[in-house]
Amino acid sequence: MITRINHIAIVVEDLDAALGFWRDALGLPLDKTEENPGENVTIAFLPIGEAEIELLEPTDPASGIGKYLAKKGAGMHHVCVEVTGIDAVIERLVAHGVEMINETPRVRDEGTRYAFVHPKSAFGVLVELYELPEGP
């Protein structure tokens, strides 16, 4: 079941320049920045309501985000929807003929499980499914 939009991810060439718009001009608060060496990206997290804008700056031009930036340029990368029961959501999507990039969810260090729907099946939009770990 889909519960909410978790984040919208935007690929940028220069994180500091992008923060000049999103944080400084638009006024969104910067919660934190972090390096994600597994994805070769630096991420800035800017909360907005119950969701976030995530700015993604590749740290390696050969990474997935780096290749995306070189091919398509800066701009929206994906929409992330938070789900419960990610395995059942993927099963339902596949049963409806949806092409998945990840049919088996990946797991982040803190326990978040995630998978991507191929843009071909979502009318040109890369969609991330995100299942947060259960609380203590």
- Map out the domains of the chain with their CATH numbers: 2-131 (3.10.180.10)
Sign of CA dihedral 67, 29, 113, 6: negative
What per-residue confidence (pLDDT) applies to 108?
86
15 to 59, 74, 86: CA distances (angstroms): 11, 11, 31
Q: Is the pLDDT of residue 11 over 70?
A: yes
What per-residue confidence (pLDDT) applies to 26?
97
Q: Torsion angle of alpha carbons 29, 18, 4, 104, nearest 10°?
A: -130
- pLDDT category, 110, cuts 50, 70, 90? confident
Q: Is the pLDDT of residue 135 over 80?
A: no
- Average pLDDT of the chain, as a whole number: 96
The tokens of 26 are what?
A: 């638009």
What per-residue confidence (pLDDT) applies to 38?
85
Q: Are 81 and 132 in contact (CB under 8 A)?
A: no
The model's pLDDT over 86-102, given as tens digits with 9 standing for 90+, comes to 999 999 999 999 999 99
Q: Are 41 and 129 in contact (CB under 8 A)?
A: no
- pLDDT category, 136, cuts 50, 70, 90? low
Instruction: Pick 108 or 21 by higher pLDDT.
Output: 21
Q: What is the pTM of this model?
A: 0.90
- Residue 22, burial from CB neighbour count under 10 angstroms (0-12, 13-18, 19+): buried
Q: Is the pLDDT of residue 123 over 90?
A: yes
Q: How many CB atoms lie within 10 A of CB 116?
A: 17
Q: Which of 52, 29, 54 is nearest to 44 (CA)?
A: 54
How does DSSP classify residue 100? Answer: B
